[in-house]
Amino acid sequence: MRRLIVILVVAVYGTAALPAGAGTDAFSFVQVVEKEWTLTLSRPSVRAGSVSLELVNFGMDNHDLVVKGTKAGAKPLTFKQLDPRGRTERTLRLTPGRYALWCSIAGHKAKGMHATLIVTK
């Protein structure tokens, strides 16, 4: 019965009327924009599961990205260094928690190139 209701809601109102997560998998997308001296996320939080991170360098210097969970023992995930106007994308499997993101090139993090991504259940 629930499935029929979801199908009818989609048919009448489109997917915008569905509750968050109804009929979808846990795939999320976050764009990370780097430029001197900022690191900006397209959204502050995502749901746990497969998360596609697109890294874009809009700066005039090279930048990279490190993603590391804040829980003890978390291992960092490193994105390659990008030239100006460079772009790369990786899909990560993230569990609930907080993740620190930063540019690891000497001095860049201290100048403000860091952010926090929250992953919810």
* Residue 54 clears pLDDT 90, i.e. is over it: yes
Give the pLDDT of residue 25: 52
Q: Could you list the residue range(s) of the whole structural domain that residue 99 is in? A: 25-120
Q: Kindly state the average pLDDT of the residues 99-121.
A: 98
Residue 110 forms part of a structural domain: yes
Residue 16 forms part of a structural domain: no
82: CATH: 2.60.40.420
Q: Total structural domains in the chain? A: 1
Q: Kindly state the average pLDDT of the residues 53-58.
A: 98
Residue 54 forms part of a structural domain: yes
Tokens for 82, please give them.
Answer: 């990008």
Tokens for 113, please give them.
Answer: 């190139």
Residue 58 forms part of a structural domain: yes
91: pLDDT confidence band, cut at 50, 70 and 90? Answer: very high
Give the pLDDT of residue 96: 97
Residue 66 forms part of a structural domain: yes
Residue 62 forms part of a structural domain: yes
Give the pLDDT of residue 1: 46
pTM here is 0.78
Residue 19 forms part of a structural domain: no
Average pLDDT score over the chain: 85
Q: Residue 110 carries which DSSP code?
A: T
Instruction: Kindly give, in sequence order, each residue whose CB lies less than 8 Å from that of residue 72, ignoring residues fewer than 6 positions away.
Output: none
Q: Kindly state the average pLDDT of the residues 88-98.
A: 97
Query: What one-letter code names the amino acid at 105?
Result: I
Residue 6 forms part of a structural domain: no
